[in-house]
Structures are given as structure tokens and as C-alpha cells.
Amino acid sequence: MSLLILMRHGQSMWNAANLFTGWVDVPLTNKGIEEAIAGGKEISELPIDEVHVSTLIRAQMTAMLALAQRGDGCVPVFQYSANDESMSENESRMVEWAQSNDSGEGTLPVYVSWQLNERMYGDLQGLDKQETRDKYGDEQVHIWRRSFDVPPPGGESLELTAARTIPYLDSEIVPSLEKGRNVFVAAHGNSLRSIVMSIEGLSREEVLGLEIPTGKPLVYEWIGGNWSQKSI
């Protein structure tokens, strides 16, 4: 049996300001920090062997604050890959110089992936949600936000988001679970909705009603290729 722990980031500054955020990289509010700490306390006794986060600071802050509530003494260490041929000389140096020479004991590897990012809201990013409703109408904004396959202008639908998150789940996370490792993922409302859709086998209609609360861990057990939700 292995565990997959999912946590949506705490409240961000643009969540509090009622702005469409998407891939815009904004940090947590004080409330978001408190949510991340509270969520971390809920899972502080669960085993974690590796961590996956999006590239966005609100998810990374949430992960680090949650992990700081643990008493196992393990230190989160971000892992950098040198496999990208488009990497600049300075980026390559970052990969080379960031390597640790110890055995890895007492460290918790943290993997950063753009595939776990929030869905991109395109032309809506940075706009006030109520002003957008006033301009385009409640029904149209609801379609952009909650439909499965209709993206906002210049952005991603949930379907397009799932096209990157689910392959990441299958190729990077499930193999770790199969090896008996316990995985913690800190990401976003829509990236996690699409992952939960895959885990729970939800239909396109069922996933529309799924809400992922901020800072609240979801825990799944992986047993012999089957998923089951675990209460904490």
C-alpha cells in the first residue's frame, strides 16, 4: 500500500482580490499561510517519500509550509533536471551546482512540474471576476469557469488541463506508488480536479460539481493498482 496526498494551495493574494489568476505567479495571503500550516498538521504523521509541486509560488509555499509541520527531520530538497536541451548556460550551471554530495538520507526530494500548474485563464488572467461577469454575463463566465471543454479566450479548458496532468500522474507519480513510495502533491484547484477525475473515474458531468478546498488534504491509498480514499 502507498499513499497519494493531494493538497490545493492556500488562499492566494489574487484569490482574496477576486481576480482570475491562472498561471500568474502570486503568493499566499496570511490566511493562505494559515491554511497551508493547518493542512500540514493534518498530514504530519503520514509517511511522505517524495513531493511534487507546480512551478507556481503559491503551490510551492503551501508545500513547504505543510512539510514544516512534520517532526521527522527530513529536509525538502528541490531536484533539478539537466535533460532540457533548450536550457541556458546559467540554467545548466544551476543544475550542476545544486547537486548534493551526501547519500540523500534525511532529505525529501521535491520535483517541480509545469504539468501540475493551474489551468491557464488566457485573456481573463488579472481581470476582476465580478467585472468580467458584468461585461460578458453570468452564464458565459460560468461556462468558461465550470464547463469541461470550453476554454476562456486564449486559455485552457479543464479538458486541456487534464491532457497534461493525467499523463504526469501516470508517468511520474504512479510509478513511485508502485515502488511503495508515498507521494505528496501540492497544486491547484483545476489541476487537482482533473487528477481526482482520473483517480475516482468521474465522468465529464460529475467532475463539473467537484470542488477542491484550499489547504485541505485529500488522501488516497494505492493498493495493487486500485485507488481508495482514506480519511485522516
Is 9 labeled as catalytic in the residue annotation? yes
Check if 188 is active-site: no
Query: 35, 50, 52, 118: which is the annotated catalytic residue?
Result: 118
Instruction: Name which of 173, 186, 184 is nearest 7 in CA terms.
Output: 186
Q: Which residues are catalytic?
A: 9, 118
